[in-house]
Amino acid sequence: MTVAAAVTLRAVPTPPAARRAALLTLGCARNEVDSEELAGRLTGDGWELTEDAEGADVVVVNTCGFVESAKKDSVDALLEAAETGAKVVAVGCMAERYGAELAGSLPEAAAVLGFDHYPNLGERLDDVVAGRTIAAHTPTDRRTLLPITPVSRSTADLAVPGHGWGPRVLRRRLDDAPVAALKIASGCDRRCSFCAIPSFRGAFVSRQPAEILAEARWLAEQGVRELFLVSENSTSYGKDLGREHGGPAALERLLPRLAEVDGIERVRVSYLQPAETRPGLVTAIAGTDGVANYFDMSFQHASSTVLRRMRRFGGTESFLALVEQIRELAPDAGIRSNVIVGFPGETEDELAELEHFLTEARLDVVGVFGYSDEDGTEAEGLDGKLDPREVAQRVTRVGDLVEQLTAQRAEDRIGEEVLVLVERVGQECAGRAAHQGPEVDGECLLTGEGELAVGDLVRGKVVDSEGVDLIVELAEVVGGAASGIAVGAAVEGSP
Annotated binding site for [4Fe-4S] cluster: 28, 64, 93, 188, 192, 195
Short-list 236, 377, 239, 255, CA closest to 298: 236
Beta strands in 322-415 (DSSP E): 334-341, 365-370
Strands 294-296 and 266-269: unpaired
Alpha-carbon distance 495 to 19, whole Å?
44
In whole angstroms, how far apart are CA 13 and each of 10, 30, 127? 9, 42, 21
Q: Quick one: angle between helices 348-361 and 388-412, nearest 10?
A: 10
Q: How far from chain centre, in Å, is Cα 47? A: 26
Q: Quick one: angle between helices 316-329 and 279-287, nearest 10?
A: 30
Alpha-carbon distance 122 to 45, whole Å?
6
Alpha-carbon distance 269 to 230, whole Å?
7
Q: Cα dihedral sign for 183, 184, 188, 193?
A: negative
Residues 6+ apart with CB under 8 A from 111: 89, 90, 103, 124, 127, 128, 134, 136
Alpha-carbon distance 223 to 444, whole Å?
21
What is the DSSP-derived secondary structure letter of residue 243? G
Query: Are 74 and 65 contacting, i.e. CB atoms less than 8 angstroms apart?
Result: yes
The backbone torsions φ and ψ at residue 298, rounded to the nearest 5 degrees and listed phi first, read -90, 75
Query: Are 461 and 473 contacting, i.e. CB atoms less than 8 angstroms apart?
Result: yes
Question: Angle CA(236)–CA(240)–CA(242) in degrees, nearest 5?
Answer: 120
Rounded to a whole number, what is the largest CA-CA distance in the chain?
113
Write out the binding residues: 28, 64, 93, 188, 192, 195
Short-list 46, 49, 183, 45, CA closest to 118: 45
Alpha-carbon distance 299 to 319, whole Å?
8
Query: Are 195 and 65 contacting, i.e. CB atoms less than 8 angstroms apart?
Result: no
User: Which residues lie across from 490 on neighbouring strands?
Assistant: 451
Query: Are 224 and 263 contacting, i.e. CB atoms less than 8 angstroms apart?
Result: yes
CB-side neighbour CA atoms (13 Å) of 435: 24
User: Which residues lie across from 229 on neighbouring strands?
Assistant: 182, 269
CB-side neighbour CA atoms (13 Å) of 235: 18
Alpha-carbon distance 135 to 130, whole Å?
15
**In 10 A of CB 175, how many CB atoms?**
8
